[in-house]
Structures are given as structure tokens and as C-alpha cells.
Amino acid sequence: MKVLAINGSPHMDNGNTAMILDPFLEGMKEAGANVDLYYTRNLKIGPCNGDMSCWFKNPGKCGQVDDMQMLLPKLKDADVIVWASPVYYAGITGPLKNLMDRQLPLHIFGESSGRRQKVVLVSSCGFWDTSMFDPLVTQMKAIYARPDGNTEFAGALLRPGADAMREMMKGDGAVILKSIFEAAKEAGRQLVKEGKISEDVLKEVSKKLLSDEEYKKAANLMMEEMKKLANQ
């Protein structure tokens, strides 16, 4: 099974999104999948210029020469595509959206790719309310409800309150967090072995760690620390 994961966080492997993405991919590897991981920050990918030449003038080919030339065949061949992004203003990050838009040569209207693919979203956000992810999940569902029926949205690993989670890792909270990372890993194993991820595992990844009061305290502490760091 070929897995292509793309992380749109500028923090790459040191970010909050990677805290969930990495064990998820690890679980898939353990179950035998071949995993390729890219960070948009390391890729040179410009925005789609919207001229539709990839549909009409040169069907299936993009006129822009950048890292998308390397990624398009990988996106076409993958059995599973994992889109990973922090929530930025109720959406995915700009570089990841640019990359998604540039897939147009693979999705020519009325043509079937002929390949069955599963798609997973991995996301983290600062606020503790999972409704923060609603626009991202809605977008994924809308994209992958394409009429050719070849792609299936297999679920989302969503981690709210992710900045507080990073704070908790420094203290006793690390024990509680273990179950979240383990659930992310289990989600990867399940997707490869069973072809789907159970609702229970997804719930565990998103589980509430702190009461609203505790969360606000932790968030304020983090802000203070960040201000101190910035003024050093």
C-alpha cells in the first residue's frame, strides 16, 4: 500500500500537527505500508494560475515547472493520501491549498482516474472546541464526493487544544497524552489492515484533556511564555 502524506505546517516535524501525523504514519508503516512524507515548506509550488490549460490545451499537463511535476505522479499512484495541516483562520494553510489546487491535471472533468484512493485529514488547532475543524472536514467531504466514486474520505484525526497539549508534554500530562498518540498510531494500523478507522479511535485522538477553566489557564501561561521568549 502506497501512502503519500503532505504536511502543510510551517513548523514541519516540530509542530503540533506532526505530533498526531507522525504516530499515524508510524502505525501505517508498522502495518506494512510504504509511506512518503513531504512538507510544503520544503517544496516549491506556486498557486494555480487558473488558465485551465491542463484540461483543454495540454490535457493532464500543468504548464508551470516546479515541484508539482514530481508530486503529480505520486498523487496519482497513492492508495492513501494524507492531508495534514494546522487550522489557519478556519481553513488549511495557504501552501497546502496551493498544492491541492495544482492537482487539477489529475482531475479532468468527466474522466475517471480509474484508481481507488482513500483520503485522510490530520489537523490540529489552538482552540479546544472541535467545531474549529468543521470547515476543513466539510471541504474534504465536498472534494472527495466526486461523482467518479473512486476516492473515499476515510476520516479525520483532529487534535483541538494542541498548543496546551504541547505545554502538557513538559509535565505530568505526558501520561495522559500517551493514549492520544497511541490512538493515532492505532488509526494508522487500522486503515492499512482493515481499510477503515474506527470512530472510537478517532474520538480518542480528539478527546478533551482539560476543563474549559484549566484550558484557559494553560493557554494564558503559554501566551506569557511566548511573550517572554519574543522579548529576550
Q: Which of 130, 190, 119 is nearest to 159 (CA)?
A: 130
- For residues 197 and 190, the answer to whether their CB atoms sit within 8 Å is yes
Containing 223, the helix (H) or strand (E) segment is helix 212-231
Which residue of this chain has its Cβ atom nearest to ligand FMN in the complex?
15
**Residue 125 lies near ligand FMN (rule: CB under 6 A):** yes
Query: Site size for ligand FMN, by CB under 6 A?
Result: 18
- For ligand FMN, give the closer residue by CB, 68 or 162: 162
Contact flag: residue 95 with ligand FMN (CB under 6 A): no
Q: What is the 3-state secondary structure (H, E, C) of 144-203?
A: CCCCCCCEEEEEEEEECCHHHHHHHCCCCCHHHHHHHHHHHHHHHHHHHHHCCCCHHHHH
The reply on whether position 89 binds ligand FMN by CB under 6 A is yes
Residues 154-193 that bind ligand FMN (CB under 6 A): 162-163
130 is a site residue for ligand FMN (CB under 6 A): no
Cα–Cα distance measured from residue 95 to residue 147, given in angstroms and rounded to the nearest whole number: 27
Any contact of residue 223 with ligand FMN (CB under 6 A)?
A: no
Of 37, 67, 126, 222, which one interacts with ligand FMN (CB under 6 A)?
A: 126
Q: Give the residue with the Cβ less far from ligand FMN, 54 or 125.
A: 125
Q: Please report whether residue 124 would count as binding ligand FMN according to CB under 6 A.
A: yes
70's grid cell: 514530481
Q: Enumerate residues 10-39 that contact ligand FMN by CB under 6 A.
A: 11, 15-18
- Cα–Cα distance measured from residue 213 to residue 229, given in angstroms and rounded to the nearest whole number: 25
The contact set with ligand FMN (CB under 6 A) reads 9, 11, 15-18, 86-90, 124-127, 132, 162-163
